[in-house]
Amino acid sequence: MILKMHQKTKTFIAIAAAATMCAVLNAKDAIAVHSFDKEMSESKQDEFSTMKSMLGKAMKEETSGVKIVFEKKLYELKHCPTDFAFINAEKIKNLEIDGNGATVVLDPANSFLRIQGCENITVKNFTITYSPSPFTQGVISDVNPSEGSFSLTIDKGYPLLPDDAKMREHYGEKCWQWGSVMDSKIRQRKRGVSDHYFIDRVEKTSAPDKFKIIVDKSYADRLKGVSNGDRFAMPVYYFKDNRKNNFTPNVAVGGSSNITVENITLYRNRNSMCFWIGENRGKVTMRGNNITWLPNSNDIIASWRDGYHCKSNETGPTIENCRCEGLLDDSINISTDTIMIKRVLDEKTLELTNPGFTVGDEMGLLYIDSAKWIDGIKVVEAKGNIVTLDTPVKNIKTGEKRPHTDKESTQVYNMKRVNKDFKIKDCFFGMQRRNAMLIRAFNGRIEGNTVEESSANGISLGNETGWFYEGPFPRNITIKENTFKNLWDPGVSLYSSTSANAPINVNFNIKILKNTFIKDSSSPYPPAIYVSKVRGAEIKNNIFKTSSEKILPPESAVKIYNSENIEVGQE
């Protein structure tokens, strides 16, 4: 086991003064403190059963709150087929779980934490990893673009690929997902080739550690430029659970308020988001967390999927002092699920593609074909997918969120769930495949962060339509005192995605102030800041320079297209 460097130590529980702890929980009574290891020893249960029992008792505790404390040691958990998440907190108030520096090793078929419908919960001070590895990696050979294939020899110590027929039987025809071609020398994807390849099938060869990878036919020509000796990383599944759970996040926080997850270090994340923050009612804080490569390993990735996927929250998350590197998807995505109008029943009554409104909610409409935004529409009745509005709506283009098919359909957003007042502060983003920050939200601050060596944008601000459907679009956001260094794409990309050759009809009010952009050459591409189809942005007092300290003028560092009211300069 690669984590034996974590030695068991004696338990040390430091209980803070009762008055201080009670102040945290806004109550007068003392906190009930429980030792996880003592409970497990006395109950003679395994870790999953012990935690389930302790959470059940926490719901009934008659004090002002409960604190569960772990020992600073290694916990190696066996696969649990009955309880998916190790810590599964549902409808609990006033709970703190302190890992005290513990390392928890999970089976890839389980996850670490689920918080649903809770209030005033803190989980902190854990290191999490998975064994066996949820992904595999190896060296590429026999590249054949005309056939759409290459051979993959799995690195020693990493999982072999399962049988193709068994994969299809268990997970369906689209079972293999996708992987990325990585540089032969550094932990970064390879330049000049596709950033991902969907896999059609896998064939065994005469060598037990060598497999033939056949990519989806639409990706065959993209193998040009892939060379023998390049590396490849892709997810692996173990048939222990259903497909749905394969995509369940390592940490999930939903429908909750006043939640803090801090000082969590994550290695070898399971094949889903590292952290999912969705449909929460109140504040969620992610502080001091690290997503990175397993120490003393040859891992070329840390996670196949997103870092923080933040979706449709009433209050936007606060993400501060966190580290993200080695990811094959966006480190942070803050957005709202798009809803479309399946049928117009009358000028005030709509059948939506999915429920998402209650009476009193405000609706926003984005007309993709004309780049028009309307909000302030009130929902006066909501029954499942059927909503009745206080105002007639016209010129609706119906749709069902089908990729490519509904790319001009009218988009619908619940204005209560646009992640207002989000904050990303003092975080570090290292080498990764996708955007460090992907923002489609309202009213936020991005301040004091550092992005280095990413193969995509530092910050991408814009909606998406035609393939994935996420929005609504960025508005009222300040980007201040961040550093962007040697990125493959712009440090900041600001845009709107519509079929009209014009900006959306409202003021975006984006402020890009006092940031530093450093690139490895004076070439105009990529620009430091890219703006397209935007109305209203202030780009001032930024520093643009090369790694050799050559100052670049704003006119060469900022590229603006089809936009209005964009101010660029120094004061």
- Positions of E strands within 131-287: 135-144, 149-154, 178-182, 197-204, 210-215, 231-235, 251-254, 257-266, 275-278, 284-287
277 vs 283: CA distance, rounded Å = 10
Residue burial 488-526, b: 16+ Cβ < 10 Å; e: rest: ebbbbbbbbbbebeebbeeebbbbbbebbbbbeeeeeeb
Q: Are 363 and 412 in contact (CB under 8 A)?
A: yes
pLDDT score recorded for residue 31: 77
Cα separations (Å) of 78 from 48, 59, 92, 455? 9, 26, 26, 37
**Residue 170's pLDDT band (boundaries 50, 70, 90)?**
confident
* Whether the predicted pLDDT of 13 surpasses 50: no
pLDDT in tens, 180-227: 999 999 999 999 999 999 999 999 999 999 999 999 999 999 999 999
105 vs 266: CA distance, rounded Å = 10
pLDDT in tens, 96-125: 999 999 999 999 999 999 999 999 999 999
Q: Are 313 and 284 in contact (CB under 8 A)?
A: yes
pLDDT in tens, 429-451: 999 999 999 999 999 999 999 99
pLDDT score recorded for residue 59: 84
pTM of the full structure = 0.93
Q: Which residues contact 42 (CB under 8 A, 6 or more apart)?
A: none
pLDDT score recorded for residue 2: 42
Over range 527-544, report the average pLDDT.
97
411 vs 563: CA distance, rounded Å = 22
pLDDT in tens, 287-304: 999 999 999 999 999 999
Q: Is the peptide bond before 162 cis (omega within 30 degrees of 0)?
A: no
Locate all alpha helices (DSSP H) within 61-102, ordered by sequence: none
pLDDT score recorded for residue 496: 95
Helices 47-60, 36-43: axis angle to 10 degrees equals 110
